[in-house]
Structure 1
Amino acid sequence: MTRIVDSNKPFGMLFDRARGQLSAEDKAAGDSRKPLQDMAQLAIMVEMTTIPPYLTALYSISDPNTEAYQLLRSVMMEEMFHINQAANLMVAIGGRPKMTGSFTPTYPCYLPHANPDTTPFIGLCRASVEVFNDTFTAIETPAPPHALPRGNNYSYIAQLYDMLLLCLEQYSGAQPLFEQNPDAAQRIDIYLGKFGGKPILVTDLASAQLGVQQIVQQGEGSVPESQSMIPIEPWATYNGYGQRTDGTYGPIIGSPYELSHFKKFRTVSLDRDRFPPTYPIISNPKRSDFTNPVALELAEVFDLAYSVMLDSMERSFSSRAPGANDTFFTLALPLMHQALPTIARQLMTTPAHANTNSDVGPNGAPTYLYQPGSNLAALGKRLQSSVGVVKQNIDDPADREELVDALESVRANIDQLATAQHIRHA
């Protein structure tokens, strides 16, 4: 009989496996830590699943000088830290983080292994009060006191991390638990700028707990028994976190050093009157939605750049020789800061259908489809051909020039990255 795999639960019954009921795949792996490695991989995938929806909403806000934009951008940066910390844990227990192929989320979807009855259905939509309130705050809602750890059908992300820590604490397999994968590497140098989080090198249970604690407190925050689930009063009494006077990192009672992601999203959703204007983009776009060849071209170019970025991120957790190319800083980070936002915003101001008004819409939006085998050379060539598509299909000289200049700017940046890669490998 062919076993049907639920794509929303790619790792089967994680709790049962981690507690000793090993699957045939676990036994074939020859590593008693395989269920725990899958739990760490699941944590990476959960964090990864939040990024395209947050990015779509971020790019759709036309004015970056707004609180909604800045708070969402800060969340995005901290989600990158969460992925990094979950990946460090994965490497520490003998695994190797995966961010491409079948491990890349497709939309719309639920968080992997989440309870579909209690967690939001997540799509790629422009920013709105409703998206912040009904989707983003729901993703980051803190677990109530005494919520049980859950590896499957969790209602709160914190439950998943609690289960991961519980299984680490109770591990009794043949292999040493914290024995790093020799073909993988942890990262403690991820650049966060002014945003919170201190990457932890995971070497034992205590450092694993500290890393997970940062992820949960920075994302969902925590709710003590004396407080209601979603209070109206200021949150700083228990929802602040940061560098404490004893040198540790965690909650600071009474100090609003940094708001949790939940609080940031709720702050935006409650300030309805000041919500910023957005581009009129298609929700949950598909390639078939675009009849305008320029919109389709931009969507495909975005996916190519997105795929190169994901490949670069994944490779950055591989072991490398001293002085070898670090694909996080030389590829992933530049693509995130320059290519992706530039292409996305051009797409979001391009009508999905030819001869329609971009001020009215519907306009295009990124589809976030992973393209295997993508590379800088292919991206550079595709950008060059995209300029030709624009010149052939946009009649207005000013609009045509603006889009050509944007694509040429991205292509110049890609050429610089490719040259730097060549020099490092020479």
Structure 2
Amino acid sequence: MTDALEGPDAPNGSRFRRRTFLASAAAAAATPVSVAGTTQATEPPADGRTPTPGRGSVGRLLAVPEPDRGVPWIRSALQVAVALELATIPAYLCGWWSVKDRDSEAARLIRRIVGDEMYHLGVVSNLLVAVGGRPRISDAAPVYPGPLPGGVRTGVTVYLSGLTKSFVHDVMMAIEAPEAPLAQGLDNYLSIGLFYGELQRAFRTAAPELSTRGQLFQHIGSDVLRPVENLDDVERVMEIIKEQGEGTASSPSDTFEDDHPAHYYAFSEIYHGRRLRRTGDRWEYTGEPVPFPEARPMARVPAGGWPNPPAHVLGLLQRFDDIYSTTLDFLDRAWDTGDDRALGAAIHAMRGLEAPAVELMETEIPGGGGTYGPAFRPLPTRRAT
């Protein structure tokens, strides 16, 4: 996937290691939901399009005994991954688009993370195709505000708004929170890598035949999406995602190939206004300043979308949602058919989202309370042509 966010601050060959959302699934899965009489995931439809996950699906998946985690289980787990990775992108895009100075450090950090999540979406989609499934991307598009797909991070509500400290803390940091933050005073979470670990174990046990047919190859930011050809490739891409997640137990960045922190720590630096630095045996936000940027005051999108918007705002919202729907449709087509041109069309369409989004963010809500913003509400499914 050609990088829709590529620019002069994306160094060639660099790899921004970060905490993936998929690893977060372990938090919800730590207390599995009992599924009476269920020992295997449901077989996907004949067309290979894996059913989209429901609430609590991660817990139900991890309640399945290990010997019964065959190819259908792997497909179901990977569709959860598709939904999880997709759910982060609209929220992070709203935060990025709202920043007025795109050369600011905060904007650069968020921009890289958006590219990372796009890469993750590509990886899990390729893996799903490799085991005979098809990612359902349009169907997986979440409703905002709402919980995270699959029942992960219970209690976190993902909403859309411009960049504020509360948005950084309550949405961005909450999504990406690691098991044991290096800086003190933060809530701990259960095992971050559990879900990927269970997926890796299932691949090893089931040893499914992998097909490269329909998988895609593209550059995504500083990463390269490649077809997975064998189980070694599966291990490699999963380890990359895990390593790009939380860093290590001793440092947020000492396993990285560049000096960029994992997602949680990047967002935390924006929130605290300082780089995370080690002082003796402690990590503290006492490094160089990370000024909080001036942002367009996009208000929090209410449940059900903006009520009774003026005609010109309604037109912008419809224009945005049409482009968003087209992007999702082309992504579906790309992995349904292995068509790189469809993937390119999706990226081209996605670039068109920014203009109406920013125009909305610069349109005041009557009566005050900030400005409008995109609601990411896909139109009824229609296949891209």
Q: What's the TM-score, normalizing by structure 2?
A: 0.72
DSSP-derived class of the 1:283 partner: coil
Q: Work out whether 1:221 is the aligned partner of 2:246.
A: yes
Structure of greater relative contact order (alpha carbons < 8 Å, 6+ residues apart): 2
Q: Is the 8 A contact 2:216 2:227 kept in 1?
A: yes
- The one of 361, 366, 374 aligned to 2:374: 366
Cα offset, 1:299, TM superposition: 1.1
In the aligned structure 1, how far is the partner of 2:260 from the partner of 2:61?
A: 33
In the aligned structure 2, how far is the partner of 1:114 from the partner of 1:203?
A: 31
1:336 — aligned with what?
350
Unaligned runs of 5+ in 1: 23-31, 146-153, 228-233, 243-255, 377-420, 422-426
Shift in alpha-carbon separation, 1:257–1:200, aligned structure 2, 3 A:
farther
In the aligned structure 1, how far is the partner of 2:225 from the partner of 2:205?
A: 24
Tell me the amino acid that sits aligned with residue 109 of structure 1. G
Cα offset, 1:319, TM superposition: 3.0
Q: Is the 8 A contact 2:87 2:142 kept in 1?
A: yes
Q: Work out whether 1:97 is the aligned partner of 2:135.
A: yes
2:177 — aligned with what?
141
1:187 — aligned with what?
216
Tell me the amino acid that sits aligned with residue 247 of structure 2. S
Q: Is the 8 A contact 1:141 1:156 kept in 2?
A: no
Q: Is the 8 A contact 1:37 1:90 kept in 2?
A: yes
Q: Work out whether 1:47 is the aligned partner of 2:122.
A: no
Shift in alpha-carbon separation, 1:115–1:96, aligned structure 2, 3 A:
closer
2:313 — aligned with what?
295
- The one of 104, 108, 113 aligned to 2:150: 113
Tell me the amino acid that sits aligned with residue 186 of structure 1. Q
Q: Is the 8 A contact 2:59 2:151 kept in 1?
A: no
Percent of residue pairs bearing the same amino acid type: 24
- The one of 310, 318, 333 aligned to 2:328: 310
Deviations 1:364-385 (A, max 9, x none): 1111111134577xxxxxxxxx
Q: Is the 8 A contact 1:109 1:121 kept in 2?
A: yes
Greater radius of gyration (CA): 1
2:295 — aligned with what?
278
Shift in alpha-carbon separation, 1:6–1:165, aligned structure 2, 3 A:
closer
May I ask how many residue pairs the two structures share in their alignment?
311
Q: Is the 8 A contact 1:351 1:363 kept in 2?
A: yes
Q: Work out whether 1:169 is the aligned partner of 2:204.
A: yes
Q: Is the 8 A contact 2:96 2:107 kept in 1?
A: yes
Matches within 5 A, 1:51-130: 51-101=89-139, 103-117=140-154, 120-130=156-166
Cα offset, 1:138, TM superposition: 2.5
In the aligned structure 2, how far is the partner of 1:258 from the partner of 1:177?
A: 35
Cα offset, 1:45, TM superposition: 0.9
Tell me the amino acid that sits aligned with residue 216 of structure 2. R
In the aligned structure 1, how far is the partner of 2:97 from the partner of 2:131?
A: 36
In the aligned structure 2, how far is the partner of 1:61 from the partner of 1:374?
A: 33
Shift in alpha-carbon separation, 1:122–1:373, aligned structure 2, 3 A:
closer
Cα offset, 1:169, TM superposition: 2.1
In the aligned structure 2, how far is the partner of 1:34 from the partner of 1:98?
A: 15
Tell me the amino acid that sits aligned with residue 123 of structure 1. Y
In the aligned structure 1, how far is the partner of 2:201 from the partner of 2:265?
A: 27
Shift in alpha-carbon separation, 1:157–1:53, aligned structure 2, 3 A:
farther
Tell me the amino acid that sits aligned with residue 266 of structure 1. S
Tell me the amino acid that sits aligned with residue 204 of structure 1. N
- The one of 171, 195, 217 aligned to 1:160: 195
In the aligned structure 2, how far is the partner of 1:198 from the partner of 1:332?
A: 17
Cα offset, 1:287, TM superposition: 3.4
Q: What's the TM-score, normalizing by structure 1?
A: 0.66
Tell me the amino acid that sits aligned with residue 362 of structure 1. G
Q: Is the 8 A contact 2:138 2:381 kept in 1?
A: no
In the aligned structure 1, how far is the partner of 2:346 from the partner of 2:319?
A: 16
Tell me the amino acid that sits aligned with residue 278 of structure 1. A
Matches within 5 A, 1:2-41: 7-10=54-57, 13-17=60-64, 19=66, 32-41=70-79
Cα offset, 1:107, TM superposition: 1.4
In the aligned structure 2, how far is the partner of 1:134 from the partner of 1:181?
A: 39
Deviations 1:326-378 (A, max 9, x none): 1111x2111222x100010011112333xx5xxx54321111111134577xx
DSSP-derived class of the 2:336 partner: coil
Superposition RMSD on alpha carbons, in Å? 2.8
Tell me the amino acid that sits aligned with residue 270 of structure 2. V
DSSP-derived class of the 2:201 partner: helix
Q: Work out whether 1:178 is the aligned partner of 2:219.
A: no
DSSP-derived class of the 2:78 partner: helix
Q: Is the 8 A contact 1:107 1:124 kept in 2?
A: yes
In the aligned structure 1, how far is the partner of 2:225 from the partner of 2:65?
A: 26
1:259 — aligned with what?
261
Q: Work out whether 1:349 is the aligned partner of 2:367.
A: no
Tell me the amino acid that sits aligned with residue 262 of structure 2. S
Cα offset, 1:276, TM superposition: 1.1
Q: Is the 8 A contact 1:99 1:310 kept in 2?
A: yes
DSSP-derived class of the 1:108 partner: coil
Higher helix share: 1
- The one of 204, 207, 211 aligned to 2:230: 204
